[in-house]
Amino acid sequence: MGFDSTEPEQRRRLQAALGAAQISTGDLWLYYFGIGGAVGEYEVEAYMQGLVSIPQLQRDLLAMAANELFTDHDGPRAPYSDEIDADDPPAKPDEA
Protein backbone atom coordinates (compact mmCIF):
# COMPACT_ATOMS: atom_id res chain seq x y z
CA MET A 1 0.00 0.00 0.00
CA GLY A 2 1.50 3.35 -1.02
CA PHE A 3 0.95 6.87 0.18
CA ASP A 4 -1.77 8.84 -1.55
CA SER A 5 -1.09 12.48 -2.37
CA THR A 6 -2.77 13.93 0.74
CA GLU A 7 -1.58 11.42 3.33
CA PRO A 8 1.70 13.14 4.35
CA GLU A 9 -0.03 16.51 4.85
CA GLN A 10 -2.91 14.92 6.78
CA ARG A 11 -0.40 13.16 9.04
CA ARG A 12 1.64 16.34 9.57
CA ARG A 13 -1.45 18.31 10.57
CA LEU A 14 -2.63 15.50 12.87
CA GLN A 15 0.79 15.54 14.56
CA ALA A 16 0.60 19.33 14.98
CA ALA A 17 -2.88 19.12 16.52
CA LEU A 18 -1.84 16.35 18.93
CA GLY A 19 1.26 18.29 19.96
CA ALA A 20 -0.69 21.49 20.59
CA ALA A 21 -3.23 19.61 22.72
CA GLN A 22 -0.51 17.54 24.45
CA ILE A 23 -2.18 14.25 23.57
CA SER A 24 -0.01 11.16 23.19
CA THR A 25 -0.27 8.77 20.28
CA GLY A 26 -1.19 6.04 22.78
CA ASP A 27 -4.14 8.07 24.09
CA LEU A 28 -5.19 8.82 20.52
CA TRP A 29 -5.05 5.14 19.59
CA LEU A 30 -7.09 4.08 22.62
CA TYR A 31 -9.89 6.51 21.76
CA TYR A 32 -9.64 5.67 18.03
CA PHE A 33 -9.92 1.94 18.77
CA GLY A 34 -12.92 2.60 21.01
CA ILE A 35 -14.81 4.30 18.17
CA GLY A 36 -14.19 1.45 15.74
CA GLY A 37 -10.66 1.98 14.44
CA ALA A 38 -9.18 -1.17 12.95
CA VAL A 39 -5.45 -0.41 12.87
CA GLY A 40 -3.30 -1.66 15.73
CA GLU A 41 -1.39 0.56 18.12
CA TYR A 42 2.00 -0.28 16.60
CA GLU A 43 0.73 0.50 13.11
CA VAL A 44 -0.62 3.87 14.28
CA GLU A 45 2.76 4.62 15.87
CA ALA A 46 4.49 3.68 12.60
CA TYR A 47 2.00 5.79 10.61
CA MET A 48 2.67 8.79 12.85
CA GLN A 49 6.41 8.33 12.17
CA GLY A 50 5.74 8.25 8.41
CA LEU A 51 6.90 4.65 8.10
CA VAL A 52 3.69 3.05 6.85
CA SER A 53 0.57 4.06 5.01
CA ILE A 54 -2.91 3.36 6.36
CA PRO A 55 -6.23 3.45 4.51
CA GLN A 56 -8.05 6.75 4.11
CA LEU A 57 -11.00 5.61 6.27
CA GLN A 58 -8.63 4.79 9.15
CA ARG A 59 -6.84 8.15 8.80
CA ASP A 60 -10.21 9.89 8.96
CA LEU A 61 -11.14 7.90 12.08
CA LEU A 62 -7.84 9.02 13.66
CA ALA A 63 -8.76 12.63 12.82
CA MET A 64 -12.23 12.14 14.32
CA ALA A 65 -10.77 10.63 17.47
CA ALA A 66 -8.26 13.46 17.82
CA ASN A 67 -10.90 16.14 17.31
CA GLU A 68 -13.22 14.52 19.84
CA LEU A 69 -10.37 14.31 22.37
CA PHE A 70 -9.76 18.04 22.20
CA THR A 71 -13.25 19.48 22.18
CA ASP A 72 -12.20 22.13 24.73
CA HIS A 73 -8.93 22.98 22.93
CA ASP A 74 -8.63 26.13 20.80
CA GLY A 75 -5.59 24.96 18.82
CA PRO A 76 -5.38 23.36 15.38
CA ARG A 77 -7.81 20.60 14.44
CA ALA A 78 -6.95 17.32 12.74
CA PRO A 79 -8.21 17.43 9.14
CA TYR A 80 -10.21 14.77 7.34
CA SER A 81 -8.83 13.56 4.01
CA ASP A 82 -11.45 15.45 1.99
CA GLU A 83 -10.40 18.73 3.66
CA ILE A 84 -6.92 18.61 2.13
CA ASP A 85 -6.50 19.72 -1.47
CA ALA A 86 -3.95 17.56 -3.25
CA ASP A 87 -2.97 20.54 -5.43
CA ASP A 88 -2.05 22.76 -2.48
CA PRO A 89 1.59 22.73 -1.44
CA PRO A 90 2.19 21.46 2.10
CA ALA A 91 2.22 24.16 4.76
CA LYS A 92 5.53 25.00 6.35
CA PRO A 93 5.77 23.93 10.03
CA ASP A 94 5.74 27.54 11.22
CA GLU A 95 2.50 28.24 9.29
CA ALA A 96 0.43 25.56 11.04
Q: Which pLDDT score, from 0 to 100, does residue 87 have?
A: 53
pLDDT of residue 72: 75
pLDDT of amino acid 86: 59
Nearest to 22 by CA among 75, 79, 92, 94: 75
User: What is d(CA 73, CA 21) in angstroms, rounded to the nearest whole number?
Assistant: 7
Our CA angle for 61, 67, 93, nearest 5°, is: 100
CA distances from 46 to 4, 32, 82, 85, 90 (A): 16, 15, 22, 24, 21
What pLDDT, on the 0 to 100 scale, is given for residue 92? Answer: 53
Kindly report, residue by residue over 1-39, the tens digit of the pLDDT: 566 889 999 999 999 999 999 999 999 999 999 999 999
The band of 54, judged by pLDDT with boundaries at 50, 70 and 90, is very high
Is the pLDDT score of 55 beyond 80? yes
pLDDT of the residue at 96? 45
Q: In this predicted structure, what is the pLDDT of residue 43?
A: 97
